[in-house]
Structure 1
């Protein structure tokens, strides 16, 4: 029998702390063969990324391997010094990180970065490395590689940047590739391209690939085998189809049950259990005179950005990012907005909420009028209170230097919604309303998980008693179980408080669960706008069908899973 490329034996990783060591990985064991993709999946904090970092020797300080072995073709990586690992890193082990923008140097051209890596890892001259770099860019599917070699990372789309990162990870022709959440921020079609590329490279070069992700659909369509982790321990492993189709561990069953369906709308999101509290009466004070009908109307909207290279003498045509027909959102409605990266989804959301100036057209709210005509500070302040945003990244959305109770009390004080004496009680009630504890207000953002931070962001948006929420990719960085909790919370708040929402996402399954109507955007235009169920069941536009066909799916026997649960 052929020996595995990589063998991890009873791996333990600890982080020393004054109150006792924190065990991040506890007795993890797995094998990986050449030409095989093994997926690591679990909730945030399960230890998935820590396993990958331990293999490549990039554990965050003061983390260290406390027990176990990591054997790469008869070489124990856990026993190597930092200098010895430097020799292996890049040459025998490559890594694809989650965020391509932080993986690339913004001050160097893409070609220079790749040529430098090839020169160091393969001991080639820079001239030879540049020729090889252009070839490698072409190999990962970047068109006109000779020209794009001279461009900077910000000139590439998210998918193209991730292709460059893959080329960098393969610069030293490694035997093992670790892909840590390589598709988290990508839309479905770009995600499919990146996953197809990783899969084809794995087969062609007989690489072993460890794929770390929280997306069950990605695992289902990419991994040969899967390891399910929880609290640093391996709870279940096996062939992907067997684990997802007939899970044995209770935790695996719960993960699979949390996945939103793209084929049907589920009752748990349509009619979540209604929760109320004394805070609801305070939150509803701004809604007492509302009537049915349109909440927001826009004429045909156009947003243009100046073209690069514009000067006094030469003015190239402006880039038209958004060009959409008139829109209307009814009170209490959730309008979903989907499309690929760069299609104009987030730009349109910012136009409708007044965060970007409009080139042509107008946006009118029933209670505020044309938002571009709000000249007085009091008018703008009132509008800002009614219209709030929940952004994609809960990490950068919160001020890390302020305690949570200060973060939530600041907008209440700014808008004069409660006295100084009342504010602490309201802040505690808001935290409890979004599923946290009132005592959590005394903590700082870094003391919370990603899902908890997103709950704090929702509480902050609710703190000013809004009537409209722009949810811009609010669940894209969350694992499936936390994502399901967040969606249920948003839908329950919408039901209890009568909120109107614009829900921007590239996750089609999520959009189906929460939206009453769905608008599909392509290259700045809305190509289809229909009732959610009608659009998903019988899409009319070719581009909508393309998005639905490329969306990753978990094929499981629902009947068997229900019986198991």
Structure 2
């Protein structure tokens, strides 16, 4: 159905043409799911953009051929390409929140898409839209179709994106990281849906992802890319079971196993080199001279968090929404506790309560020997503001894009009054970059000049500069490919063991949680379903919910 031969894409620049992808050849049959894997920057999304005709200017297809059935995609005029795009080739993007129009009801977006590609009445388009929503598993579709995107959960919004891709009966759908931000339960539902559609409608799929477990679960064929080149391609069983290229083997080795715990993650390439050990030693001494070496645990007892309900009637008092109910557990001094659960289970609410961003309605939180007060009583000078630091999921949005790295890293030193001299603040910031595996030269650059893994290292450095004793890591690697994930998690392990940090590690990737955690807490609907040592929870789970989560986690099988 789709044939791509010798595809080469270049981007002109003042220093000459930059080759983004070179001599890529692949094909997709009707009803086939073709997986496209590789690290960030490998060229996966560029392949998809070239096929559907959405290359960002000034990029252009320099060589090669692309055909969809009997249609030569390179010979289409702009008008013909516009009519084909969305009609015969559709795309499912990574983030449904930004891909759906927040000001339009789902009904209007589906109808608009159908009427843009065929002569159909609004009544007929609406009836077809309801049928498609029912087909992809949205209950009460005739009622839910009138909702706005924000009234759906993340998994439901992803289903709406799939409905938008299906509503024109395409031959090919390109799914670009469709499950990256989803928990294992919702991810499993979306993947089952894609597999079912490929079989029932004979739609070809190109599945772009960095999750090799997902590829192993549903892909019929897989192609491995690196630095814009296709290294290996073939049936999934053959490529993953008996890889021919060393890079494919290294990628497989970097996937954390679910059935056992490793001392360190395998990294498929050399970790970032540093300019020397002197600056790293300076950062280590500076941390150890402060309070970072004091191991501080956290004890949570009967924590409850309620949010006020939404008033739907002038005469009816809104009922509060309970986000956390009677949550009790402990993060041991110098230990790592993993927190897992589906989206909406209360994981991030718990992190916000610990940091004082959300006020609990009941219960106590004890950090070391001090009871943490409500957020309203924690001013900027309260000790917990410095002692407890957080590493967020998206380092790009958590780093100020208008400030240089030096200013971003120096801020905690100035804010907490740790270093009064500006030059000394800059020197310590450069030393901390060295400690986390970055070049000190990065101090004069901006966040957009770094890759995702490098930005996450900068976020770790910023958290450490406050001399914390307790770190909250909220999905710190969910958007990173397996090799960068391995580097960041090895870094966190090293820092935790060297400086005695206590860590609350929040993630929906159960395999990562097993590798990182001493203890595990499983949340569901704001309540603890199971808690205990990591090996016990993973090897001998007691609750049905924990068993279901483990069974839904995609793993790379032994072929």
Give the structure-2-normalised TM-score.
0.95
Which of 231, 236, 246 does residue 250 from structure 1 map onto?
Answer: 246
Which of 350, 353, 356 does residue 354 from structure 1 map onto?
Answer: 356
Which of 433, 455, 466 does residue 435 from structure 2 map onto?
Answer: 433
Answer yes or no: is the 8 Å Cα contact 2:293–2:499 preserved in 1. no
**CA apart distance, 1:541:** 0.3
Which of 22, 28, 38 does residue 42 from structure 1 map onto?
Answer: 38
Larger CA deviation: 280-289 vs 151-160: 280-289
Which of 147, 169, 179 does residue 173 from structure 1 map onto?
Answer: 169
- Which residue of structure 1 aligns with residue 122 of structure 2? 126
**CA apart distance, 1:308:** 2.3
Q: Give per-residue Cα distances to partners, 1:323-343, cap 9 Å, x unaligned.
A: 133222221111100011111
- Which residue of structure 1 aligns with residue 200 of structure 2? 204
Q: CA RMSD in A?
A: 1.7
Flag structure 1 segments of 5+ consecutive residues without an equivalent.
558-565
**CA apart distance, 1:481:** 0.6
**CA apart distance, 1:260:** 0.5
- Which residue of structure 1 aligns with residue 61 of structure 2? 65
Answer yes or no: is the 8 Å Cα contact 1:90–1:171 preserved in 2. no
- Which residue of structure 1 aligns with residue 387 of structure 2? 386
Which of 51, 55, 60 does residue 51 from structure 2 map onto?
Answer: 55
SS at match of 1:27: strand
Q: Does 1:551 align with 2:553?
A: yes
Report how many aligned residue pairs link the two structures: 547
SS at match of 1:396: helix
Which of 466, 473, 476 does residue 474 from structure 1 map onto?
Answer: 476
**Cα distance in 2, alignment partners of residues 185 and 373 from structure 1:** 28
**Cα distance in 1, alignment partners of residues 385 and 405 from structure 2:** 21
Larger CA deviation: 451-460 vs 417-426: 417-426
**Cα distance in 2, alignment partners of residues 465 and 487 from structure 1:** 20
**Cα distance in 2, alignment partners of residues 56 and 429 from structure 1:** 46
Which of 330, 333, 336 does residue 332 from structure 2 map onto?
Answer: 330
Are residues 289 and 212 of structure 1, via their aligned partners in 2, closer, same or farther at CA, if it must alter by over 3 Å?
Answer: closer
Answer yes or no: is the 8 Å Cα contact 1:365–1:371 preserved in 2. no
**Cα distance in 1, alignment partners of residues 423 and 314 from structure 2:** 57
**Cα distance in 2, alignment partners of residues 307 and 370 from structure 1:** 26
SS at match of 1:481: helix
**CA apart distance, 1:312:** 5.8
Alignment of structure 1 residues 256-267 onto 2, 5 Å: 256-267=252-263
- Which residue of structure 2 aligns with residue 285 of structure 1? 289
SS at match of 2:91: strand
- Which residue of structure 1 aligns with residue 301 of structure 2? 299
Answer yes or no: is the 8 Å Cα contact 2:254–2:486 preserved in 1. yes
- Which residue of structure 2 aligns with residue 562 of structure 1? none
**CA apart distance, 1:391:** 0.6
**CA apart distance, 1:91:** 0.8
SS at match of 2:225: strand
Answer yes or no: is the 8 Å Cα contact 2:35–2:215 preserved in 1. yes
SS at match of 1:422: helix
- Which residue of structure 1 aligns with residue 5 of structure 2? 9
Q: Give per-residue Cα distances to partners, 1:475-519, cap 9 Å, x unaligned.
A: 000001111111101111101111111100000000000001000
Larger CA deviation: 278-287 vs 334-343: 278-287
Give the structure-1-normalised TM-score.
0.94
Alignment of structure 1 residues 147-546 onto 2, 5 Å: 147-269=143-265, 277-287=281-291, 290=294, 295-310=297-312, 313-366=315-368, 368-372=370-374, 375=377, 377=379, 379-380=381-382, 382-418=383-419, 419-546=421-548
SS at match of 2:558: coil
**Cα distance in 2, alignment partners of residues 282 and 398 from structure 1:** 23
SS at match of 1:173: coil
**Cα distance in 2, alignment partners of residues 51 and 518 from structure 1:** 40
Q: Give per-residue Cα distances to partners, 1:123-148, cap 9 Å, x unaligned.
A: 21112111111111111100110111
**CA apart distance, 1:393:** 0.9
Q: Give per-residue Cα distances to partners, 1:31-62, cap 9 Å, x unaligned.
A: 11111111000000000011001100111122
**Cα distance in 1, alignment partners of residues 134 and 379 from structure 2:** 53
SS at match of 1:421: helix
**Cα distance in 2, alignment partners of residues 376 and 535 from structure 1:** 35
**Cα distance in 1, alignment partners of residues 413 and 306 from structure 2:** 35
SS at match of 1:299: strand
Are residues 324 and 122 of structure 1, via their aligned partners in 2, closer, same or farther at CA, if it must alter by over 3 Å?
Answer: farther
**CA apart distance, 1:321:** 1.2
**CA apart distance, 1:376:** 6.7
SS at match of 2:264: helix
**Cα distance in 2, alignment partners of residues 441 and 304 from structure 1:** 42
SS at match of 1:361: strand
SS at match of 2:233: strand
**Cα distance in 2, alignment partners of residues 301 and 122 from structure 1:** 55
Are residues 205 and 376 of structure 1, via their aligned partners in 2, closer, same or farther at CA, if it must alter by over 3 Å?
Answer: closer
Are residues 77 and 146 of structure 1, via their aligned partners in 2, closer, same or farther at CA, if it must alter by over 3 Å?
Answer: same
SS at match of 2:20: strand
- Which residue of structure 1 aligns with residue 274 of structure 2? none
